[in-house]
């Protein structure tokens, strides 16, 4: 242990050894926070003699939790028990598995994912709100997001309905009520419920709360800047009037306010814990000083922050490059050529990230990389567990374990010769007989299903036999393999030559085999608890960018890159209304978040940093001619190297002053005579009003259903009315 402490710098050592007061560690980018957290866990076990199982460490991604567990095991390889290191949601799931009776759930409750939520919401709209076509204009994901906000603010369906002022709002709130009622009938909860229900348990049951307070002698929170009010309340429940808390985070990396994170929580930590202390880790072990100089100077433009200067002993390296491009294709070509140069210099494809603010920005890079045979991977595609074939296979297991209607319906849709009409008739018959869809197919007289279709006897037999197969083998993989083969599902994939889907099924078998081997059977376990445990574990997997492969350039959003680093980073599309986004421009709070997002992007770079923007090309994303982001104008021109479109281009941002900035915002009269509020006539779209003029483009609000459209001022099909 002493050798481990000797490896720490002065601030890191203090962060590890302070254990008698609430501690906030402000960890700058690349300052070794994971090393500090895992060393502190080892210190608590080895020096403070706290039993490992009495230590709780929570974070936000499975990847971070896995990395912490691995590092602790490497430091102390022969632990007799393990600290509880997990995501917030996995920790809450563990509590609910113990306290399920307090919230009227059965032990084998399911956690549904967003795909299930979408299907449930769609069915409820069709069943109860088909008379409201305006509700159908809302996407299911928007409704789910709205329901999630209500839940996280602890607003019940009844309260939501009472607070609504419009008919549409009331319909969504009523849909929330129907959704909650349906979840109870299938003994399920959603992702938001995990934290909300634990809060209710702690808030309403003092004995249960005390039990969990005594469960942990020490609590640690990673990525504390990403916590929301509800998560912070859970931490305060555990640590109130105790000095057993360490939180680690960086206010300058708070970039998740859209999902509830509040930068003020970490900034005001010492107001909440008045006897708390703070330590700043400001030595960076990742980037060169030239990259850090640009990042430090840029983030100082934020007002709502805690000032700190990140430094490094790595003084080598080139200045960051800012490159002006004439089009999105030109930008992609520039990055492609630079990558080829870097490969010739000895870098590998895996050393390179291309980061952007919007997923839509990747398109030109994908095409250009393919044309130039540059191997790449796109992070943010469909996850393994979200692929249709995996969801269908898991539906067989859900049907076996819970018999819930949604899973049975998915199974029926996935097997040969059963379609929507048959499923609809089965559901109607089950309702008439007052039995579940599963019982109708498996347990009632087969005469009933034969009246609907002659193709259901096989699936009836498979579902019935699978219960015995699992009872005898207690092996999930073997049971699923039996169900998929005997139901005709595998034959269907084979007949349609879906080789990739078959390979996914094989990967699922491998995953299940590993789960079967690692699962610890509980005492007196007789039912399908193991399958439920597997399904719950699957539901808790989040979208970490942790499947990055070797020898490929990685394309990903800045948010997906958080927590990652690489030798070379390209930050592309740094254009106004793109980064920062158009919707952020009118809010100082949102602009500061966008600035923090760019700070995160810049500080992913270890050795080389390239920043690109486009000037002149029209874009429907921004609905205007692309212009440099205001953030580029905030960069200190002495801290980067500028590359224009031509060999001897001069940096247009050098010696910028307030007059230049004011000129950018000025609404000047266009050379063709168009001004704001002009009435115009278009040959196709009809009459409209000019609402904005920006050089060679303008925005026109048409009185027809076309709404606001970007137009060229030189368009011959439009003219000004007298």
- Rounded to an integer, what distance in angstroms lies between the CA atom of residue 134 and that of residue 45? 58
Which residues, in sequence order, are bridge partners of residue 556? 355
Nearest Cα to 602, choosing from 641, 637, 572?
572
CA distances from 281 to 225, 228, 261 (A): 15, 23, 22
Two tokens at 8?
């720490």
- Rounded to an integer, what distance in angstroms lies between the CA atom of residue 562 and that of residue 426? 48
Q: How many residues does the chain have?
A: 722
Q: What is the DSSP letter of 242?
A: -
> Sorting pLDDT into bands at 50, 70 and 90, what band is 666?
very low
Nearest Cα to 402, choosing from 105, 117, 194, 193?
105
- Rounded to an integer, what distance in angstroms lies between the CA atom of residue 529 and that of residue 520? 11
List the binding residues for ATP. Answer: 27-34
Mean pLDDT of all residues belonging to the chain: 87
Q: What is the pLDDT of residue 457?
A: 93
Check: CB of residue 61 under 8 Å from CB of residue 544: yes
CA distances from 642 to 634, 638, 645 (A): 14, 10, 10
Which residues, in sequence order, are bridge partners of residue 689? 679, 701
- Rounded to an integer, what distance in angstroms lies between the CA atom of residue 694 and that of residue 717? 19
Q: What is the pLDDT of residue 41?
A: 96
List the binding residues. Answer: 27-34
Residues 6+ apart with CB under 8 A from 98: none
Check: CB of residue 682 under 8 Å from CB of residue 720: no
Q: Is the pLDDT of residue 474 over 90?
A: no
- The CATH class, in words, for 300-381+547-643 is alpha beta
The long-range contacts involving 681-689, CB below 8 angstroms and separated by at least 24 positions, are 681/718, 681/719, 681/720, 681/721, 682/711, 682/717, 682/718, 683/717, 683/718, 684/717, 685/709, 687/721
Average pLDDT over residues 33-44: 95
Please count the other Cβ atoms lying within 10 Å of the Cβ belonging to residue 181. 11
Residues 6+ apart with CB under 8 A from 663: none
- CATH fold of 111-186: Arc Repressor Mutant, subunit A (1.10.10)
Nearest Cα to 466, choosing from 477, 455, 454?
477
Using left for φ > 0, alpha for ψ between -120 and 50, and beta otherwise, residue 655 falls in left
3-state DSSP percent of the chain in helix, strand and coil, to 5 = 50, 15, 35
Most confident of 258-262, 274-278, 663-667, 673-677: 274-278
CA distances from 254 to 119, 353, 565, 594, 597 (A): 32, 21, 17, 10, 8
Which residues, in sequence order, are bridge partners of residue 557? 356
Average pLDDT over residues 359-368: 87
Two tokens at 661?
């900035």
Percent of the chain residues past pLDDT 70, beyond the cut: 92
Q: Is the pLDDT of residue 397 over 60?
A: yes
Q: What is the pLDDT of residue 166?
A: 81
**For residue range 53-97, what is the model confidence (pLDDT) as tens digits?**
999 999 988 888 989 999 999 999 888 889 999 999 999 999 999
**For residue range 510-523, what is the model confidence (pLDDT) as tens digits?**
888 878 887 777 65
Average pLDDT over residues 104-112: 87
Domain 1-97+196-282 sits in CATH 3.40.50.300: yes
Q: What is the pLDDT of residue 659?
A: 41
Q: What is the DSSP letter of 144?
A: H
Within 81-189, residue ranges assigned H as helices are 88-99, 114-128, 133-136, 140-152, 157-162, 167-185
Q: Is the pLDDT of residue 207 over 60?
A: yes
Q: What is the pLDDT of residue 290?
A: 95
Q: What is the pLDDT of residue 383?
A: 67
- CATH fold of 385-540: PCRA; domain 4 (1.10.486)
> Sorting pLDDT into bands at 50, 70 and 90, what band is 668?
very low
Residues 6+ apart with CB under 8 A from 551: 348, 349, 350, 375
Q: Is the peptide bond before 30 cis (omega within 30 degrees of 0)?
A: no
- Rounded to an integer, what distance in angstroms lies between the CA atom of residue 22 and that of residue 244? 6
Q: What is the pLDDT of residue 260?
A: 77
Q: Is the pLDDT of residue 21 over 50?
A: yes
Rg over alpha carbons for the chain, rounded to the nearest Å, is 29
- Rounded to an integer, what distance in angstroms lies between the CA atom of residue 477 and that of residue 481? 6
């Amino acid at each position: 242990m002493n050798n481990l402490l000797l490896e720490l710098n002065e601030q890191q050592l203090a962060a590890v050894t302070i254990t008698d007061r609430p501690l906030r560690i402000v960890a700058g980018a690349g300052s070794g926070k994971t090393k500090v957290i895992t060393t502190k866990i080892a210190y608590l076990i080895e020096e403070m003699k706290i039993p490992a199982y009495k230590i709780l460490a929570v974070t936000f991604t499975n990847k971070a939790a896995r990395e912490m567990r691995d590092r602790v095991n490497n430091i102390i390889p022969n632990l007799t028990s393990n600290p509880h290191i997990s995501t917030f949601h996995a920790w809450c799931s563990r509590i609910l598995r113990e306290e399920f009776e307090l919230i009227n759930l059965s032990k084998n409750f399911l956690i549904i994912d967003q795909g299930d939520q979408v299907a449930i919401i769609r069915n409820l709209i069709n069943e109860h709100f088909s008379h409201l076509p305006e509700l159908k204009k809302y996407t299911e994901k928007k409704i789910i997001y709205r329901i999630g906000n209500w839940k996280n603010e602890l607003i019940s369906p009844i309260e939501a309905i009472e607070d609504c002022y419009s008919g549409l709002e009331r319909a969504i709130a009523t849909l929330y009520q129907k959704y909650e009622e349906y979840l109870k009938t299938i003994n399920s909860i959603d992702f938001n419920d995990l934290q909300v229900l634990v809060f209710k348990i702690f808030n309403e049951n003092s004995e249960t709360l005390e039990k969990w307070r005594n469960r942990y002698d020490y609590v640690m929170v990673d990525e504390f800047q990403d916590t929301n009010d509800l998560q912070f309340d859970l931490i305060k429940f555990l640590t109130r009037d105790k000095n057993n808390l360490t939180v680690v985070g960086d206010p300058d990396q708070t970039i998740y306010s859209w999902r509830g994170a509040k930068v003020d929580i970490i900034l005001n930590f010492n107001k909440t814990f008045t006897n708390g202390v703070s330590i700043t880790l400001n030595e960076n072990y990742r980037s060169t000083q030239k990259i850090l100089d640009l990042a430090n100077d840029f983030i100082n433009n934020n007002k709502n922050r805690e000032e700190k200067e990140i430094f490094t002993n790595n003084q080598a390296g080139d200045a960051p490059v800012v490159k002006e491009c004439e089009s999105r294709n030109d930008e992609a070509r520039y990055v492609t050529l630079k990558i080829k140069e870097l490969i010739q210099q000895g870098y590998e494809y895996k050393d390179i990230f291309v980061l952007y603010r919007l997923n839509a920005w990747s398109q030109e890079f994908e095409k250009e990389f393919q044309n130039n045979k540059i191997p790449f991977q796109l992070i943010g595609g469909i996850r393994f567990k979200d692929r249709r074939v995996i969801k269908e296979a898991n539906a067989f297991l859900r049907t076996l374990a819970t018999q819930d209607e949604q899973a049975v319906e998915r199974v029926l849709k996935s097997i040969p010769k059963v379609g929507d009409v048959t499923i609809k008739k089965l559901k109607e018959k089950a309702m008439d007989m007052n039995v579940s869809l599963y019982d109708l197919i498996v347990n009632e007289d087969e005469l009933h299903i034969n009246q609907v279709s002659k193709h259901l006897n096989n699936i009836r037999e498979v579902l019935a036999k699978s219960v015995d197969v699992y009872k005898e083998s207690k092996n999930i993989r073997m049971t699923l393999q039996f169900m998929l083969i005997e139901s005709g599902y595998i034959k269907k994939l084979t007949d349609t030559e879906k080789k990739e889907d078959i390979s996914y099924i094989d990967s699922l078998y491998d995953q299940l085999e590993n789960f079967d081997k690692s699962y610890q059977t509980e005492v007196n376990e007789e039912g399908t608890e193991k399958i439920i445990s597997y399904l719950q574990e699957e539901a808790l997997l989040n979208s970490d960018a942790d499947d990055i492969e070797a020898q490929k350039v990685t394309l990903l959003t800045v948010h997906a890159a958080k927590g990652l680093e690489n030798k070379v980073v390209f930050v592309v599309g740094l254009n106004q209304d793109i980064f920062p986004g158009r919707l952020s421009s009118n809010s100082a709070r949102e602009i500061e978040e966008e600035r923090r997002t760019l700070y995160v992007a810049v500080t992913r770079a270890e050795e080389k940093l390239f920043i690109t923007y486009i000037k002149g090309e029209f874009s429907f994303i921004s609905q205007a001619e692309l212009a440099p982001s205001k953030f580029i104008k905030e960069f200190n021109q002495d801290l980067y190297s500028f590359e224009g479109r031509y060999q001897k281009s001069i940096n247009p941002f050098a010696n910028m002053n307030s007059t230049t900035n004011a000129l950018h915002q000025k609404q000047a009269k266009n050379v063709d005579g168009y001004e704001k509020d002009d009435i115009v006539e278009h040959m196709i779209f009809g009459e409209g009003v000019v609402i904005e003029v920006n050089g060679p483009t303008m925005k026109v609000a048409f009185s027809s259903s076309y709404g606001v459209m970007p137009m060229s001022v030189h368009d011959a099909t439009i003219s000004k009315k007298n």
